[in-house]
Chains A and B, each alone.
Chain A
Amino acid sequence: MIPMSENITIGFIGNPNCGKTTLFNAYTGANLKVANWPGVTVEKVEGAVKDHDLNIHLVDLPGTYSLTSYTMEEQVSRQFILSDDVDVIIDVADASALERNLYLTLQLLELGKPVVLALNMMDIVEKRGMEIDTHRLPEMLGIPVIPVSARKRTGLDVLLHVAAHHKDCTDTDCLIHHHTYKSKHKHDHHAEYAMVYSDAIEDKIDLIIGALKRKYPKLTNYRWYAIKLLEQDKEITERYPVNLPEVIDRNYESDIINEKYDFIQEVVREVLVNKDRQDALTEKADRALTHRFWGIPIFLGVMAVVFFLTFTIGDWLKGYFEWGIENVSVLLGNGLESAGVNEVVCSLLIDGIVAGVGGILTFLPNIFILFLALAFLEDSGYMARVAYIMEGIMSKLGLSGRAFIPMILGFGCTVPAIMASRTLENRHDRFKVMLITPFMSCSARLPIYILFAEMFFKERAMVVAYSMYMISLVVAILVAAVIHLIDRKKSENYLLIELPEYKVPSSRTMAIYVWEKIKDYLTKAGTTIFIASIAMWFILNFGLHGYTTEMSDSFGAVIGHYLVPFFEPIGLGFWQIAVALIAGVSAKEVVVSSCAVLFGVPNINSGAGMDTLVGILGNVGFGQLNAFCLMVFCLLYIPCAAALATIRKEAGSTRWMMLSALFQLVVAWGVTFIVYHVGLMV
């Protein structure tokens, strides 16, 4: 019986890509991003759910293959599991890959905490014609085993109920290792533990436990510490040293791993019927999509299709938005005039806020299509392959294919991309990835490409915009290569990634992904773009002598003219463009909203708005080459304020953030300089 109004904390742990976050979302109603590659959850995320009178606190942990923590995300999981904060651990295992997932289960069992094994993805197991003996498995492991499907939301209530009941249960009464087993060892460990090592290792464990008990009488679960000391775990060896050189005469980690896998084989032999068969379609598709030579061209082709859809379908939908914004602008103007609102306030609302925020909102259809396509690629299982096919190139740059995961995420948003660098094992590589990831073209740059490519390149607009994405990849790879050449501290990194089966993407996962991105875009329009538009309107309508209708007397013009010499050599020596680029540091879309305010074009994304802007820019000598240079500079220069804040947080250093921003600026200036001068020669 569970006491009334009890609070319990349940931690979800499991291998990357086993469905922990999907399970967490199903329980809490949260919309956390789920994906089929490692590094999506890099911090523990908490939620709460009420079950009868039980207040259940759920914690979703980053995926980990073991508790021998090497990467930052693994450390987060291990520290939390080891702490007293967790009452029950739900070990989420991908039932279709039981063999691999049980390794972590065995490690968790050794912690001596209440563990419940959730066999997730049972729908896939059934689909493949496999069967799992869910009666024998709990007997062999000594813990409850609950089959669930997070995606289909089956077995969820039972799992939570079992976890709540199992809270105080750490005894192994239900452990039946072998029905007819008689232990020959001096201690019958088989009656106590699921995982029992060879006699030689068990003897060592017993000796270390004895020493630990004498030296650290307050410690609990001596067996786990003894095993970690045998594995020469850095953290445990430093914190709880024991002087037993004849017992810990070498590192026993590989022996312990091998024996664990021997036991896993034994379990799998007993409980798994019709062992995993690789899906024939996945095998066939992978022969082409992950091909040594064709893999990368196919990836580039897929991205070209994404941009084709973003432009064609996006532009068709865009018309409705333009019509809406135009009408709002007219209605607002008429309303303000009839209400007798002050002229300056009218200008602020129509030329500042509606032009700035409204201009950005018209790009929403393009953003929607881009994210819908990216969500499709992610959830179908293709994006995980991209990291795999890039392994060859990345290893030549001294980075693992793992480093390409943040880069792929960078196509969406730089912020989670920088955070995903946590999946890299050492700090040195993380810093390298943090330097190159902002070069990837995030969705915030898309409105700039759409606007300037459509204004100056007309029917070639799509190719020009696509070229920005190719430039971003090439620059990121080249910068990584240069860093690799001058970097004296080389490290070896290997990609460990599970390639999921191809599947028809889940409409729910895609909807969550796209909705969150759209919400983020709208929030940005209503906050950052709103404030930037007001600030821009202010510096363009006020000067040393107060309100002015002459833009050349405004603060903006003064600031812009000071900046012109810096931008002149890269083909951007126009004071309005200089002001827009500086404002763009707050968020890249602000470059577009600033142009709307700067050039007084209320509906900048409409055909008429574009024609007006081309005319104004043409009058000051801004042509195709300048537009291309502007796009290249926007692609590469300082990431937005949010990305800078994330770099500071992840690197733990303001100086590193400043250095990183300066580095991006120098690279952007250098590349745009080359593009401009080559363009002048052509």
Chain B
Amino acid sequence: MIATGIIVIGIIVYAVWAAKKIHKKQKNGTCCGGGCSGCVDKKYCNR
């Protein structure tokens, strides 16, 4: 029962994080992170 609860909570937390990441990626112009130079005004490459 405890193991089931932990796994379900883990999946929910991870799914929420994944959904947020997808949303952020689409909002920012999709290929942010360096794959292509498509980000606008994003200071993501601070050393």
Write the residues of chain A forming the contact surface with B, with a CB cutoff of 8 angstroms: 21, 28-33, 40-50, 60, 336, 339-342, 345, 348-349, 353, 413, 415-416, 419, 512, 516-517, 519-520, 523, 526-528, 530-531, 534, 641-642, 645-646, 649
Given contacts A30-B34, A32-B37, A645-B26, contact A530 B45 (CB under 8 A): no
Show 13 residue pairs from A and B whose CB-CB distance is below 8 angstroms, ordered by the A residue.
A30-B45, A43-B37, A45-B39, A45-B42, A48-B45, A342-B4, A413-B31, A415-B30, A523-B21, A527-B18, A530-B15, A642-B30, A645-B30
CB of A590, distance to nearest CB on chain B (Å): 12
Given contacts A530-B15, A534-B11, A534-B15, contact A419 B36 (CB under 8 A): yes
Residues of chain B with a CB closer than 8 A to A512's CB: 34
**CB-contact partner of A42 in B35, B37, B43, under 8 A:** B37
Residues of chain B with a CB closer than 8 A to A413's CB: 31, 35-36
Contact check, A519 vs B33: say whether CB atoms are below 8 A apart: yes
A sample of 18 more A-B contacts (CB under 8 A), given A340-B1, A413-B36, is A21-B37, A29-B47, A40-B36, A42-B37, A43-B37, A45-B45, A46-B45, A47-B45, A49-B47, A345-B4, A415-B36, A516-B34, A517-B35, A523-B33, A527-B19, A528-B18, A534-B11, A645-B26
Contact check, A416 vs B31: say whether CB atoms are below 8 A apart: yes
A415-B39 Cα distance, complex, nearest whole Å: 12
Classify the interface of chain A: helix, strand, loop or mixed. helix
A41-B47 Cα distance, complex, nearest whole Å: 20
A50-B46 Cα distance, complex, nearest whole Å: 9
A346-B22 Cα distance, complex, nearest whole Å: 26
Q: Contact size class for B?
A: 20 to 34
Contact check, B29 vs A649: say whether CB atoms are below 8 A apart: yes
Classify the interface of chain B: helix, strand, loop or mixed. loop
Given contacts A33-B35, A413-B31, contact A43 B25 (CB under 8 A): no
A8-B14 Cα distance, complex, nearest whole Å: 40
Contact check, B22 vs A531: say whether CB atoms are below 8 A apart: yes
Residues of chain A with a CB closer than 8 A to B19's CB: 527, 531
Given contacts A42-B38, A48-B46, A527-B21, contact A520 B31 (CB under 8 A): yes
Which residue of B has the minimal Cβ distance to A344? B4
A530-B46 Cα distance, complex, nearest whole Å: 30
Given contacts A341-B7, A534-B11, contact A516 B46 (CB under 8 A): no
Which residue of B has the minimal Cβ distance to A34? B37
Which residue of A has the minimal Cβ distance to B19? A531
Residues of chain B with a CB closer than 8 A to A349's CB: 7, 11
CB of A364, distance to nearest CB on chain B (Å): 16
**CB-contact partner of B7 in A32, A33, A345, A528, under 8 A:** A345
Contact check, B42 vs A46: say whether CB atoms are below 8 A apart: yes
